Homo-oligomer: A and B are copies of this chain.
C-alpha cells in the first residue's frame, strides 16, 4: 500500500506520541517533529507507510537516546494476556469451529496497536470480535489452502498479540515459522517478546531483519527473503504487514482489524471492520 497524504499528519501524531513516551523535553520533541518534517519531504508517496515509519522511529531513538520506549508496556501486555490464555483456550475448546474461534482471537489481539491513537480494552475487544461479522471472510479458501500446505509462514505484528497468535498456531497443527521484527519498533513483536509469549514452544521464530513497523521487503534480511520466497502459505497479521505486503504476488492471508480509515479504505472496508482476506487465492 502506498502512503496516502492523510498518512502525513498521522506520522507527526505518531512521532509526538512515541516521543512523549520517553521525554517531556519540549525542545527535543519540537526537534523531533522538525526532523520528521524533513524526512517526509524527501519521501515519495509511492513508498509504503511502514517504510516511512521506520525512518521516523529511528529519529525518535536518535534524538531521545531511547531505543525501546514501549519495552515495559510490551512486557505488561504479554503478561496480561498470558493470564487470559487458559480462558481463551477454553473458549476455543468449547466452540463449534475451533480454527475459526482461534482466528477471531488472533484478530482481537490485533487491537493492541500503540502506533494508532485508539484506546482499547482487550477483554471487551475479545467479546466483540468473537461475535462480530467479518467484512471480508475468505475462510473457506483459507481452510482449503491450509489443508494442502505442509508449512506456514506466520508474520506477527504486536507483542501482546503474539499470545493470541500462539493459540491460532496451536490450532493450525502444522509446522509454523513465526516472523518477528529485528529490533524494537513501536510495540511490535521481537524475538524476545515472542519467547516471553511462549511462541518458541509452538513455532520456530525467525526475524524478518527489518526495523520497520511492518514487513517492508526491501529492508528484510536475505535469510528471511529466501524463506519468504519459497513460502506457499503466508499469514500476515495487522496493518503494518498489510501495508508492506498488500501488492505482493504470493498467496497471503491478511488477518487484521482495520483501525485506521485510510487502511480500511485501501482494503475496501470500514474503520473498525475485521478482515480475513486472501490475495492471489
Query: Which residues of A approach B to under 8 Å, CB–CB?
Result: 5-6, 8-10, 12-13, 16, 26, 29-30, 33-34, 37-38, 40-41, 45
Is chain A's binding surface mostly helix, strand, loop or mixed? helix
Residue of B nearest to A44 (CB): B30
Cβ contacts under 8 Å, A33 to chain B: 5, 8, 40
Cβ contacts under 8 Å, A5 to chain B: 16, 26, 29-30, 33
Cβ-defined partner of A38 (8 Å) among B8, B26, B30, B37 = B37
Cβ contacts under 8 Å, A38 to chain B: 37, 41
Least Cβ distance of A51 to chain B in Å? Answer: 16
Cβ-defined partner of A10 (8 Å) among B9, B30, B41 = B9
Give 11 CB contacts A-B under 8 Å. A5-B26, A5-B33, A8-B12, A9-B9, A9-B10, A12-B12, A30-B45, A34-B40, A37-B37, A37-B38, A37-B41
A38 CA to B40 CA in the complex, in Å?
Answer: 11
Cβ contacts under 8 Å, A45 to chain B: 26, 30
A16 CA to B40 CA in the complex, in Å?
Answer: 15
A41 CA to B12 CA in the complex, in Å?
Answer: 13
Cβ-defined partner of A37 (8 Å) among B13, B29, B40 = B40
Least Cβ distance of A36 to chain B in Å? Answer: 8
16 extra A-B contacts, CB within 8 A, seeds A6-B16, A9-B9, A37-B38 = A5-B16, A5-B29, A5-B30, A5-B33, A8-B12, A9-B10, A9-B13, A12-B12, A26-B45, A30-B45, A33-B40, A34-B41, A37-B37, A37-B40, A37-B41, A38-B41
